């Protein structure tokens, strides 16, 4: 039996890159495979091309010119959630997020897709997300659609089935948009209560401001309660995360520069973000603009000032009084919080300070729910599988609410729970904190901000002595 063995082929000299973006990081991968079991798509499919190691292999082969970008290779790379769970477990420190973004940019260049997809991209990345007013206008139209009964007609009348796959999935996920008063912009400055701790600038987000204005309001209130002067730069737009993840590199750069400019003008101690995808992306501006001499240093400095809201609040004990929130919740780690920003204990520490709240751990709490930016629109089949998996674990906890920290996850998990017929609520962590402060001011105060809720997170394994 002939058994051919090849030695390592000579590697092309020079910098490995795709679409001009360095993928030198592939050389950090030593093929140990520790990432495999942490990858949701690999867990679902069991195919190595759909694992981080396999994708790194494909990216390397692409960059080295060993293979061309065929449909199957593009398909496996596009199936990546970019959840970066693999980065968390990777001992070699492979910068996987950067590699996959470069690969996706290359795919967009070589295989821009059909008319519908391009139209979708143009509408989202080119038009709506680059301009807050256009997004608000679209929201007004959408709200009219939802309240007119037309939405009901589309869903019940079977029209949804006639829509192309991604649009149909999008329709199902569309949140009921709040009325105009909730979509209104935050005031430009919310003053601190009590002793002043810091001046923070808030990213209100593009979609967030439209869909989840309430979260922004809650964030501002909780920050103010904790001694922050909150400023909300009016000229801010989209941070460009969706563009970057979707392979639209050029617009991602432009949006990053704009964001930096706007927030520099706010002269804050920190830029607080309550949407994880944005936070993780903005923390990476330094890398994004590293090759732009005019911006590199500014981007690095700006990135260092970006902080997730839970990360920020957990730096000090919450200021009281916090009222009781008597319910059982579980916490879902959004990918771009736990993997993108390595924030794992902070939200749990915050929850533990809410009196009356009981927290049960969620199995695979740090697994992607399938939302992943626009993934649920572009890869509806895999998104649905992952959502089912997530909902199964959520329901198994018996919790009354899932607490998380990202609008995408909230929409996705809500849709999943609704489809499952579960009544479990889905809350942003700042909503829960806001509720605790509200409960305190209504008189149900325990007065103690430092709760005794640590029991919820049971320790694992045998006793350590």
Contact residues for other proteins, defined by CB under 8 A: 1-8, 10-11, 13, 27-38, 42, 46-49, 51, 53-54, 57-58, 61, 66-67, 70, 72-73, 76, 89-94, 459-465
**CA nearest neighbour of 362 among 327, 324, 401, 336:** 401
Q: What is the CA radius of gyration of the chain?
A: 22
Tokens representing 197 are 């701790």
Nearer to other proteins, 213 or 380 (CB): 380
Tokens representing 275 are 């949407």
Shortest spacing between CB 49 and other proteins, in angstroms: 4
The secondary structure of residue 139, as a DSSP letter, is: H
**CA nearest neighbour of 179 among 134, 118, 129, 136:** 136
Nearer to other proteins, 278 or 394 (CB): 394
Cα–Cα separations (whole angstroms), residue 18 to 14, 76, 121, 256, 354: 13, 16, 21, 21, 47
For the chain, the distance separating the N- and C-terminal CA atoms, rounded to the nearest angstrom, is 56
Shortest spacing between CB 11 and other proteins, in angstroms: 5
Shortest spacing between CB 106 and other proteins, in angstroms: 15
Nearer to other proteins, 177 or 386 (CB): 386
Shortest spacing between CB 336 and other proteins, in angstroms: 20
Nearer to other proteins, 68 or 267 (CB): 68
Shortest spacing between CB 131 and other proteins, in angstroms: 40
Nearer to other proteins, 43 or 173 (CB): 43
Neighbouring-strand partners of residue 200: 230, 270
Shortest spacing between CB 363 and other proteins, in angstroms: 9
Nearer to other proteins, 361 or 448 (CB): 361
Query: Are 281 and 244 within 8 A, CB to CB?
Result: yes
Shortest spacing between CB 59 and other proteins, in angstroms: 11
Nearer to other proteins, 209 or 384 (CB): 384
Q: What DSSP string describes 16-64?
A: -EETTEE-GGGGG-----TTGGG-HHHHHH--GGGSHHHHHHHHHHHHT
Q: What is the rounded CA–CA span in Å between residue 251 and residue 242?
A: 10
Neighbouring-strand partners of residue 198: 228
């Amino acid at each position: 039996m002939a058994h051919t063995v090849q030695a390592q082929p000579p590697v092309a000299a020079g910098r490995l890159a795709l679409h001009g973006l360095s993928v030198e990081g592939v050389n950090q991968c030593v093929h140990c495979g520790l990432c495999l079991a942490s990858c949701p798509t690999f867990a679902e499919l069991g195919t190595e091309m759909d694992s981080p190691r396999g994708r790194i292999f494909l990216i390397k082969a692409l960059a080295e010119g060993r293979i061309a970008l065929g449909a199957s290779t593009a398909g496996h790379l596009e199936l990546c959630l970019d959840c970066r769970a693999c980065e968390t477990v990777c001992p070699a420190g492979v910068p996987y997020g950067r590699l996959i973004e470069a690969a996706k940019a290359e795919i967009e260049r070589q295989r821009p897709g059909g008319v519908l997809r391009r139209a979708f991209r143009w509408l989202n990345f080119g038009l709506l997300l680059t301009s807050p007013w256009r997004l608000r206008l679209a929201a007004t139209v959408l709200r009219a659609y939802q309240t007119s009964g037309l939405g009901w007609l589309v869903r019940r009348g079977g029209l949804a089935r006639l829509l192309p796959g991604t649009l149909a999935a999008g329709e199902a996920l569309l949140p009921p948009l709040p009325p105009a008063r909730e979509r209104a912009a935050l005031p430009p400055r919310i003053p601190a209560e009590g002793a002043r701790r810091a001046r923070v600038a808030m990213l209100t987000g593009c979609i967030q401001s439209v869909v989840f204005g309430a979260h922004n309001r809650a964030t501002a209130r909780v920050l103010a309660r904790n001694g922050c002067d909150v400023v909300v730069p009016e000229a801010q737009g989209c941070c460009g995360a969706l563009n970057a993840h979707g392979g639209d590199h050029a617009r991602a750069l432009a949006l990053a520069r704009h964001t930096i400019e706007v927030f520099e003008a706010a002269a804050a101690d920190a830029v607080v973000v309550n949407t994880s995808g944005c936070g993780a992306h903005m923390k990476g501006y330094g890398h994004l603009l590293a090759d732009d001499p005019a911006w590199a240093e500014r981007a690095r400095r700006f990135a260092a000032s970006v902080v997730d809201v839970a990360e920020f609040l957990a730096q000090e004990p919450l200021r009281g009084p916090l009222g009781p929130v008597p319910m059982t919740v579980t916490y879902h780690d959004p990918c771009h919080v736990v993997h993108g920003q390595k924030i794992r204990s902070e939200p749990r520490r915050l929850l533990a300070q809410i009196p009356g709240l009981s927290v049960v751990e969620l199995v695979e709490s740090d697994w992607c729910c399938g939302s992943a930016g626009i993934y649920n629109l572009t890869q509806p089949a895999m998104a649905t599988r992952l959502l089912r998996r997530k909902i199964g674990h959520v329901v198994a906890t018996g919790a009354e609410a899932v607490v998380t920290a990202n609008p995408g996850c909230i929409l996705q998990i809500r849709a999943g729970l609704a489809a499952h017929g579960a009544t479990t609520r889905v809350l942003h962590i700042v909503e829960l904190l806001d509720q605790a402060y509200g409960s305190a001011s209504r008189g149900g105060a325990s007065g103690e901000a430092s709760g005794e809720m640590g029991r919820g997170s049971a320790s694992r394994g045998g006793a350590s002595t």
